Amino acid sequence: MTVTPVTTVTPNATILNAAQLAASNGTAASSTSVSSSTSTSALGSLTSNYSDFLSLLTTQLQNQDPTSPMDSSQFTTELVQFSGVEQQINTNTNLAQLVSLTQAGNISQASSMLGATVSATSTQLPLQNGNAALSFTAPSAGPVSIAITDADGDNLYDASVNASAGANNWTWNGTDSSGETLPDGAYNVAITRTAADGTAAAVPFTVTGTATSVDSQSNNLMLNLGAVSVPFTAITSVNRPSS
């Protein structure tokens, strides 16, 4: 009896390599980012390649030449690689869940700051209920200039303050240079002084506001002082209201 050879389907190394690469990238993306869209995309790509590899392996077994079957060591190697990809899928899924739970826990803990008076390093000044405040440190006594502008850079208010050496506080009642009341929101602020060489030098400052909410923006946990959002790393002090 004549045996008609069946076309042999060889393993597709490209698909397997792509699966393993996606596994590596998926793990890195999940460990360095809390973005659900990135993690979902990486895991979806890995799962797709995993399914393709499974299909190719099954087809290979079904269509191998019976007179020259697959070498056992080669088959074992492919099974080991196949198992590794499966484990990466499980690892990515568990890691994504862990990141999500950690982020939820951080938001829950940060919510305890709501209602507190917070000082933070920011170039935006939060105007809340018609009032805003900031603190700055002057290297020496003398005049400093405070400029408040809108989102387009248009000047709204200028103030000249005779600062003392060290810490200084300043408040703004939310009116512009013509005396009109401005709406609550986020306003750009800059503080400068005249240096010894006659040039304008920036004066470091922090803004103060009431914490109103917590959320996640661009993979960072942010505390909102009205319309101004600051990362927790920018917070310099928190004064909780007495119960």
The domain ranges of the chain are 13-112, 114-239
Q: What is the bridge-based pairing of β-strands 235-239 and 117-120?
A: antiparallel
The pair phi, psi for residue 5, each rounded to 5°, is -60, 140
Q: What is the pLDDT of residues 79-114, one digit of tens each?
A: 667 667 667 767 777 676 666 555 555 666 677 888
Q: What is the pLDDT of residues 13-27, one digit of tens each?
A: 444 454 455 445 544
The DSSP 8-state label assigned to residue 218 in this structure reads T
Determine the Cα–Cα distance for residues 212 and 210; give it in Å rounded to an integer.
6
Q: What is the pLDDT of residues 134-157, one digit of tens each?
A: 999 999 999 999 999 999 999 999
Q: Are 184 and 129 in contact (CB under 8 A)?
A: yes
Look up the pTM and report it: 0.58
What CATH number should be reported for the domain whose range is 114-239? 2.60.40.4070
